[in-house]
Amino acid sequence: MIPTLQVMDDGVVRHWREFQPQVADKAHLTDEQKTERLPSGNSLRYENRIGWAVSFMTNVGALTRPKRAHYQITDAGRQVLQRFPNGAKEHDIKRMAKEPNSQIRAYKSTSSDKKSAVTPPNDTDAAMTPIEQVQSGITRINEDVEKELLERLQSKEPAFFEQAVVELLLAMGYGGSTGGGSVTQLSNDGGIDGVIDQDILGLSRVYIQAKRYADVNSVGRPDLQAFVGALSGKADSGVFITTSTFSKNAREYASGVPTRIILIDGAFLTRLMLQFGVGVQTRETYTVAEIDEDFFE
C-alpha cells in the first residue's frame, strides 16, 4: 500500500495500468517477482496485490476515483504516508481510523468485527490478498487430493492403472474427435500397455507404457530401453507413465535416445488427472465478483 501511495503522492490522476508498473519499481521488485503468477495462473501476483491495495485504500479514503479506472491520492492518503513511511498493513490503517484527527474513514466490510476478533488472520494470511488466500486454500486442498490419487492408483491392480492412463490421455485431447484408445493384451503387449489412435483409421498412434510402482521403486534405464525396443518399427515416439519417479540414468537416456519419449512421473500424473478431471469430481465451486465498471458509466 505504501509504495502505491508514494507513486501517487504527486497528486496526478493516473489510470491503474499506468501506475502499477511504477509501484512495482518503487517496491524494488525483481524481474522474477514481476512475472510470478497466482496459483490459478490467471493474473500476475504483484498486479493482484496492488489491485487489492488500491481497493482497500479507496474504501478508507486514502485514494479517490475521479473517473473510471483512474485514481488520485487524498489528504488522508498523505496522512497515511506520513504515519507509516516504511510500510503498513490493513490492521494498522484500520486502527488509524479510530484515532483523533485521523482523516482515514472506517473500513466498510460485510464481515462483523466480532467474527474478525475471534478468528484473526495469521501473519501469512495478512500478507496475502483475499483472492490469494482463496487460491492458496484451493492449492492446499488440491495437494491433498493429488496425494490421495497417487495412493489410490498405487493400491489398484496394474490393469486398472493402464486403463486410467489411457482415459487421462483421451481426456487431454489425444485421440481427437474420431480417434480412440485401448489397453493392449496383458499377456502379449511387447512392452506397450496402451494405444491411442489419433484418427479414425489409426494412421497416427500414441503408444503408452504404464508402470504402477511404489514410491520407493523408481523407473530405471532398462525399463525405458525395453519400451524403446517395443516401439521399434511401430513409432518414433511414446509416453512412459509411472506412479513413482524416474532415475537420473533413465531421464538421461530418454533425453538422448532418437526415439522421443515423454516421461510422466507420479507427481505430474496426479496434477494432470486433477486438471483434466480424471478420477476426481468437483466438490464445490466459488464465484469471485468484482464491480462492473460498464454498468456505472
CB-count exposure of residue 100 (10 Å: 0-12, 13-18, 19+): exposed
* Residue 120 pLDDT level (bands cut at 50, 70, 90): very low
pLDDT at residue 293 in the model:
76
Domains of the chain: 2-127 (no CATH), 150-275 (3.40.1350.10)
pTM of the model: 0.62
Least confident of 125-129, 158-162, 237-241, 249-253: 125-129
What are the helix (H) ranges across 2-84?
A: 2-8, 16-26, 31-35, 45-60, 75-83
pLDDT at residue 62 in the model:
94
Position 171 pLDDT exceeds 70:
yes
Least confident of 38-42, 236-240, 256-260: 38-42
* Residue 127 pLDDT level (bands cut at 50, 70, 90): low
pLDDT at residue 186 in the model:
43
CA quadruple 114, 115, 117, 119: dihedral, nearest 10: 160
How many whole angstroms separate alpha carbon 188 and alpha carbon 205? 18
How many whole angstroms separate alpha carbon 19 and alpha carbon 53? 12
**Beta strand spans in the chain (E):** 14-15, 63-67, 70-73, 180-183, 194-197, 205-211, 237-242, 260-264
Whole-number average pLDDT of the chain: 84
| Percent of the chain surpassing pLDDT 90 | 45
pLDDT at residue 187 in the model:
40
pLDDT at residue 110 in the model:
45
Position 236 pLDDT exceeds 50:
yes
